[in-house]
Structure 1
Amino acid sequence: MKRFFLSAVALSALAVPAFAADMPARTYTKAPAFTAPQVVYNWTGFYIGGHLGGAFAGNNSLEGNNARFLGGVQGGFDYQFAPNWVMGVEAQYSWMDRNTTNFGFPGATVVSSTGANQLGSVTGRLGYTWGPALLYAKGGYAWRDGNGLGVNVAGVPAGFTTSGNTKGGYTVGAGLEYMFAPSWSAKAEYQYYNFGNTTFTGGPAPVVGSRFNSDEHTVKLGVNYRFGWGGPVAGKY
């Protein structure tokens, strides 16, 4: 029995190196390179913000085309889909400096126009986003506080009537918005407001029948806060 046990041990010692020699060589596998997570921007959510800029009435407007300072607030909701498109709704309110312009008519009649000092709008908007940038167009309903017309003849105020001097109208615009930090975005925007035409239907003879357009061109720079829904929200590896 002892001889049998020693023979088995010796045979095993000889067999192990031979078996190891027959095994294939171990393949070296290189560890995958580290890839930084890709930031994904999400525009879906509510936001509020403020803006500053300037307003310029059209050449055929009672307010003239002098620039006026503008500032205000905005708020809205955006929804991102498909996956680079963004649609939403926005309400905006702006204050402006008043602007008085005098127009001379034959017979020494002067029309004094004190411009509207408040503008508002409720618009839909549609945009295309790539990374942190959003290019968009907007359009909808516009409102103003009136344009404060006055007619003077030789320095004496005179009565008059008008048609089409409305407070409601439409607005269209476009802009570029950029997320510069989580939940924060900045924008540059052009917006046009149109309130139709104003026609003098009564008053001193030189002004009756005169017709003017009521509109505003605005340029705004603004900042929005997105309540934690904007900015990088996930990573792809």
Structure 2
Amino acid sequence: MKKLLLGAAACIVFAAPAFAADLPARTYTKAPVYKAPEAIYNWTGFYIGGHIGGAFGGNNSLEGSNGQFLGGIQGGADYQFAPNWVIGAEAQYSWLNGNNGGGATFPISGTTVSGNTNELGSVTGRLGYTWGPALLYAKGGYAWRDGVGVGASNALGPVAFTTDGRHRDGYTVGGGLEYMFAPNWSAKAEYQYFNFGSTTFTGGPADVIGARFREDEHTFKLGVNYRFGWGGPVAARY
């Protein structure tokens, strides 16, 4: 029996290398490459923020082309759909720093006429296209103003005059680029044009009567918004 066991063990020892040589080589599976999650930016939700910038009267405007500093607040809501389009509404209010020193001078009578607007507001619709954290948009709607005033003077002092009135209501159009730079936070650069019709002088010095001025403002603004997203402004997709 002992000789039988020793013989069997010897056979196993000599046969093992040959058997191992017939086995297929072991295959190794490469670990998958790590892929960072892809951020999905969601513009749907409410927001509130503030802005600063400048306002400039258009050509032939009582406000003149000199600039005025402005600052204000805005708030609104957006809805993202289809899937890269964004539609929304926004209300905005801006304070201006008083008379900008513009206007026009009539050389015959030496009369200078000017106007000022202290406050601008708007309620607009907004439509934009988004890719990643950026949103390019256009806006338009109702505009109003306050602190409306007209002045006329010459070297001797104030000059009596009359006008057909100044409109406080008008329309506005504009557009801009907004960028979501952190969760719940976005920054924007925006141009907005305000038009309030025109004003005609109906009384005063002879060369002033009949003068007609357009009532418009070009504004340029930088702003920041805090966004209250529905379900969070940024999600991650793996």
TM-score by length of 1: 0.83
Q: Is the 8 A contact 1:42 1:80 kept in 2?
A: yes
Write out per-residue CA displacement over residues 49-96 of structure 1, whole angstroms, 9 at most, x where no aligned residue: 000111110121011101111111000000000000001000000011
Distance 2:62 2:231 in 1: 42
| TM superposition shift of 1:180 | 0.6
**8 Å Cα contact 1:70-1:94 kept in structure 2:** yes
Please list, as runs of the form range in 1=range in 2, the aligned pairs for 1:1-237 lying within 5 A after superposition: 28-98=28-98, 99-101=100-102, 103-152=104-153, 155-163=156-164, 165-229=166-230, 233-237=234-238
CA contact (8 A) 2:43 2:233 kept: no
Closer, same or farther: CA 78–154 of 1 in aligned 2, 3 Å: same
3-state DSSP of counterpart to 2:83: coil
Partner of 2:9: none
SS of 2:35's partner is coil
Distance 1:112 1:199 in 2: 11
Corresponding position of 1:5: none
**SS, match of residue 100 in structure 1:** coil
Q: Distance in 1 between matches of 2:159 and 2:53?
A: 35
Give, in angstroms, the shift of residue 102 of structure 1. Answer: 5.3
Q: Deviation per CA, 1:7-36, whole angstroms, max 9, x where unpaired? A: xxxxxxxxxx9xxxxx99886544432221
The answer to whether the 8 Å contact 1:42/1:231 transfers is yes
Q: Distance in 2 between matches of 1:230 and 1:49?
A: 20
What is the rounded CA distance, in whole Å, between the counterparts of 2:24 and 2:165 in structure 1?
A: 93
2:102 is paired with a residue of what secondary structure?
A: strand
In structure 2, what residue type is equivalent to 1:110? Answer: T
Q: Which runs of 5+ in 2 are unaligned?
A: 1-15, 17-22
Cα-Cα RMSD: 2.7
Q: Which amino acid in the other structure matches residue 193 of structure 2?
A: Y
Give the fraction of aligned pairs with identical amino acids, expressed as a percent. Answer: 72
Give 1:6's aligned residue: none
Moved more, 60-69 or 196-205: 196-205
User: Hey, what does 1:10 align to over in structure 2?
Assistant: none
Is contact 1:164-1:196 (8 Å) kept?
A: no
TM-score (norm 2): 0.83
**Structure 1 alignment gaps of length 5 or more:** 1-16, 18-22
C-alpha contact (below 8 Å) 2:173/2:192 kept by paired residues? yes
With over 3 angstroms needed to count, the CA separation of the structure-2 counterparts of 1:154 and 1:67, relative to structure 1, is closer
CA distance in 2, matches of 1:231, 1:206: 62
